[in-house]
A = this chain, B = another copy of it.
Amino acid sequence: MRISIIGLGLIGGSFAKDLRKAGLASELLGVESSAEHAARALQLGLVDRVVTLDEALQQSETLLLAVPVNAITTLLPRMLDGIRPTQTIIDMGSTKFKIAEAVRLHPNRERYVAAHPMAGTENAGPEAALEGLFKGKTVLLCDLEWSAPDACKTALEIFHAVGLKFEFMTSEQHDRHAAYVSHLSHVAAYALSLAVQSEEKAGYAVPRLAGGGFASTVRLAKSAPEMWVPIFEQNRENILTAIDAFSERLQTIRQCIASDDPAKLEALIREANQIRDLL
């Protein structure tokens, strides 16, 4: 099948690499709003041709939307307007409920499959594309009862080809869980980066002192605002709840340290250690 990828960044570019390797696409088309990224994607051989969104809609059977979530809510209804019953659109956005809402009553809703591959890095753009990024990771498929069976089948085929495992849930469930296991991690990393930078104003101590632990905890703070501001907007309520839960635990730990309560601190750390069994 001819596949178009809308957005040739980390996620779109990585899909391009893996789909090409899997031999699933007869031709790979790319749509990219940045001329520079488009040129680089062609240079890297991520796609065979760069086309306009309308050309992609005309010429491909399957379209993967790998753009920031605010662009998805804008583009998806427009793309569904002209979709043919043999075509499938799959989005890769990190939020699902607002996107679901944007097309819930669309007459061609069933040609769309809502998905979120739980994979990525802190880097962006075509250069960030990684072969094998999705292997062994999980894709969350949402509200599949609203998608046509053949569209679901196409989505599963594509995700299976790049090595993703499947999980199914509603878009509401997705956004609540994603707030905790993905979005909150980004908020925490951003806050950690800001706090450390505010202290280490001279700038010299961070590279000198930082070990692998700090680098690991702060890694997500390198993630671009173009992607994350729209996620925070679209999943606002769940993220605020998650931040409050996090803040409460942070204050509990602070209180144990401040009041010199090693027994309670040890109990909290042992509870925190249990994340070992879940990951």
Copies of the protein in its oligomer: 2
Which residues of A (184-225) have their CB < 8 Å from a CB of B? 184-200, 203, 205-225
A218 to B, closest residue via Cβ: B275
The answer, yes or no, to whether A251 is at the interface (CB within 8 Å) is yes
**Cβ–Cβ contact A199 & B242, under 8 A:** yes
What residues on B are CB-neighbors of A224 within 8 Å? 269, 273
- Pick the residue among B137, B248, B250 that contacts A187 (CB under 8 A): B250
Q: Is the interface of A mostly helix, strand, loop or mixed?
A: helix
**Using an 8 Å CB-CB cutoff, how does the interface string of A169-183 with B read, 1 for contact, 0 for none?**
000000001101110
What residues on B are CB-neighbors of A250 within 8 Å? 187-188, 191, 243, 246-247, 250
A219 to B209, CA, bound (A): 19
- Pick the residue among B119, B253, B265 that contacts A191 (CB under 8 A): B253
Q: Chain B's nearest CB lies how many Å from the CB of A28? A: 24
The 6 closest A-B pairs by CB, nearest first: A118-B211, A225-B269, A185-B217, A193-B272, A190-B272, A194-B249
Q: What are 5 A-B pairs with beta-carbon distances under 8 A?
A: A181-B196, A190-B249, A193-B272, A213-B219, A243-B257
